[in-house]
Structure 1
Amino acid sequence: MPDFGNLRRALLREGEPERVPPFELSIDRSIKQQFLGHDVGSVEAEAEFFMQAGYDFVPLTMGIRQTTRGETTGVMGAAPAQTSVLKPAEAQYNPFEEGTTTRMWAEEGEGIIQTQADFDNYDWPDPDDFTYENLDLLGRILPEGARVIINVGAVFTASWMFMGMESFCMAIADGSDLVLRLIERVGELQKRVVANVLQYECVGAICMPDDLGYTTSLIVNPNLLRKHVFPWNKEIGKLVKAKDLPYIYHSDGRVYEVIDDLIECGFDALHPCERASTDIARVKQQYGGKLCLCGNIDLDSTLTLGTPEEVDAEVLERIRTIAPGGGFCCGSSNSVPEYVPFANYMAMIEAVKKYGGYPIDV
């Protein structure tokens, strides 16, 4: 049975929970279909999968990401949807299967907002008009011990997606106020969304997915983040803390330079501690008393190119070295895309069950 209280203890670093919680925010529909044996995509199927796979929560996307990424139902890892911000690109994304699939990508060059007129003319959503019906539904169908983790975030990411990465960076270099107005508009919108979702009793935590880093460095100067992005995270964090809920940050890449800033914003946990860019043992040693660490099972090689036995061994090693004392949730170092062999995904979640009981003795 799900036990969100166990996950909450890990996220808030309240000593050692009963077991290491498994943790994923996005799993490709093909993995979920293989697990359940039937089609997925609905909120009901999302709940069925996450409960049967052993998680204590169901992730649900709300806010501007529903507009920019086409995640209208809130189900992450669902079929891609074209939006005004994202465009389709067909390629063989899964090297283990013949044929091509379609993914949606933001414009690298020029996005849909280049001028103040573009900004003014864009049909900005009203947070009160977002569909909260699926949150209502999850509140009715989830078992008593489960909760919903709301993915909001994207204060930085949605802003550059609207402009296109090149235009966004050039505007920063030119000192354009348009970048700042975009960040402010997105931040205001997301704050109102969080205020709305916090009214639902089934919400157990808020996650802010907002990729800040490449493998070797941050994408932009940290001073821009400190001056214009992180203040919104801090404001949203005050709302979350007023409800006494865990506050989670997701960023790919190397974010050492701003971990102290994230803690100052009120975040309790950092996901996904990407293997290629993050020495999780170093972060645990330096910040273990201040941050729960989530993820870190290698997506570049072990989960994608390794064997189930190698996945099992990596989960064992991570639990042995990082889980003692609590403050660790085990999962992939990003998400579970379609190019993770199903047997490797199963090996990961089974290994977490096998080795994750406290006290850690493996």
Structure 2
Amino acid sequence: MKIGQPFKKNHDFEHMADVLMRRTKDGPVPIFEGVVDAEIACAILGLDFPVDRIAEFTKPGPRPTLEQMWYGYKLMKMAVNFYKGMGYDYVIMTPIILLPRTAMHLMKNPQQGDLVRAWQDEHEGLIRSRKDFEQFPWPSPKQINMFSINYAYWRIPKSMKVIAFVIGIFEDLRCLLGFEQMAIKSVEEPDLVSDILDKLIEIAEAAVEKCAAHKAVGAIAYADDLGFNHGTMMSPTWIRENLISRYQRMADAAHRHRKPFLFHSCGQIEAIMEDLIETVGIDGRHSFQDNIEPVEEVYRKYGDHISIIGGVDVDLLARGTEEQVRKRTREILDVCAPGGGFIMGSGNSVTNFCKIENYFAMLDETRKWNEEH
């Protein structure tokens, strides 16, 4: 299935930025996706892409292999072609940070047509002790590579921008320690956990600063999954003591260059929303699940303070019918769009188990809604 009619022919990131910053209620509702799985993008673009080799790309180290560099180049090329061709106002790019991470486990799911998903080792990671921490090959902030940002800059029209995607410090903490050891060490060795976070924020803050200063970058999308269906993975108190002030440093770095700081987190994070808005100063929130709280309810609570991004539940995109997706898309738009500060998209990402026809239906119904209003 190749791209037929794009969402719109003309890109307009300036309008998207106005919506993100709640400066306007006028004009069309923009669209956003932070992640579209390679299988989906390839099918839409009509490309033959080696998605089965993604395991190699998930093992970054101090020195990338030739295969990793080749795969990364293919991903960048695909991303530019996809976001341009689909009619988005931006392209997602990630600065290149060679932080060694625990290898992901790739597993097939028979209930999803044997599609491969990557899973993190919950039990342990690369850092098991203070000695491991001290010997760890931490990358220097000076080593942050902007080739991916420049690659997109050279290939997109002036009416588009790059949204720089920065991986979260909590996600990297979980990855480096393993979730179980992170939880244990947060009680038994809190100083070690804090020291790891200090290293991670030094890198992440520098990445945000460097990206936000780049003229191709229109916004920062910071992704740190903090929650699950019923609450935050760590207590709200722990998050306030260990993450909030560090998040604020990154938001401040983005704002120094007048770039929006968009925050993605899966799960139920209601307990820390006030901290994210009032202390961190996030400009927008992304990721919503109907079984946690429908996006309309989040918009009613916080739409006067931050922009709300996305909202069509991934489960519906994966298992629903086209008619159900169109109905749900219009329900969301009718509530969230008239007040401004809303951008349409999936509730999380367009996963490799989503139906392409449902993804297209969401975009097409948004286009129709815009034409009617």
- Counterparts of 1:93 and 1:9, CA distance in 2: 43
Is residue 295–residue 332 contact of structure 2 (8 Å, CA) maintained in 1? no
Q: Secondary structure at the match of 1:206?
A: strand
Q: Secondary structure at the match of 2:104?
A: strand
Matches within 5 A, 1:278-357: 278-300=293-315, 302-357=316-371
> 1:279 is matched by which residue type in structure 2?
P
For structure 2, list consecutive stretches of 5 or more residues without a partner in the other structure.
Answer: 1-9, 50-73
Q: Give the TM-score normalised by the residue count of structure 1.
A: 0.89
Q: Give the TM-score normalised by the residue count of structure 2.
A: 0.86
For structure 1, list consecutive stretches of 5 or more residues without a partner in the other structure.
Answer: 69-83
Is residue 94–residue 339 contact of structure 1 (8 Å, CA) maintained in 2? no
Q: State yes or no: 1:91 paired with 2:103.
A: no
Deviations 1:1-29 (A, max 9, x none): 11101211111011214111111000011
Cα offset for 1:285?
Answer: 2.0
- Counterparts of 2:144 and 2:293, CA distance in 1: 36
- Which segment is superposed worse, 204-213 or 236-245? 236-245
More helix by share: 2
Residue 81 of structure 1 aligns with which residue? none
Deviations 1:43-82 (A, max 9, x none): 2221111111121111112365x635xxxxxxxxxxxxxx
Aligned with residue 35 of structure 2, among 21, 26, 41 = 26
> 2:11 is matched by which residue type in structure 1?
P
Q: Secondary structure at the match of 1:356?
A: helix
Aligned with residue 211 of structure 1, among 225, 238, 241 = 225
Q: State yes or no: 1:67 paired with 2:99.
A: yes
Q: State yes or no: 1:241 paired with 2:266.
A: no
Aligned with residue 56 of structure 1, among 75, 86, 89 = 89
- Which segment is superposed worse, 182-191 or 128-137? 128-137
> 2:291 is matched by which residue type in structure 1?
A
Cα offset for 1:258?
Answer: 0.8
Residue 206 of structure 2 aligns with which residue? 192
Aligned with residue 110 of structure 1, among 121, 124, 141 = 124
Distance 1:155 1:44, change over 3 A: same
CA RMSD of aligned residues (A): 1.7
> 2:188 is matched by which residue type in structure 1?
D
Is residue 96–residue 147 contact of structure 2 (8 Å, CA) maintained in 1? no
Cα offset for 1:178?
Answer: 1.0
- Counterparts of 1:290 and 1:36, CA distance in 2: 37
Residue 21 of structure 2 aligns with which residue? 12
> 2:314 is matched by which residue type in structure 1?
L
Deviations 1:91-139 (A, max 9, x none): 12662x3xx4443322111111111111111111123223311211211
Deviations 1:182-201 (A, max 9, x none): 11110111111112222310
Residue 155 of structure 2 aligns with which residue? 141
Is residue 94–residue 148 contact of structure 2 (8 Å, CA) maintained in 1? no
Deviations 1:283-316 (A, max 9, x none): 222211111111110112x211111111111111
Deviations 1:226-254 (A, max 9, x none): 12211111111111111111110000001
- Counterparts of 2:110 and 2:197, CA distance in 1: 31
- Counterparts of 1:61 and 1:136, CA distance in 2: 11
Residue 169 of structure 1 aligns with which residue? 183
Is residue 126–residue 176 contact of structure 2 (8 Å, CA) maintained in 1? yes
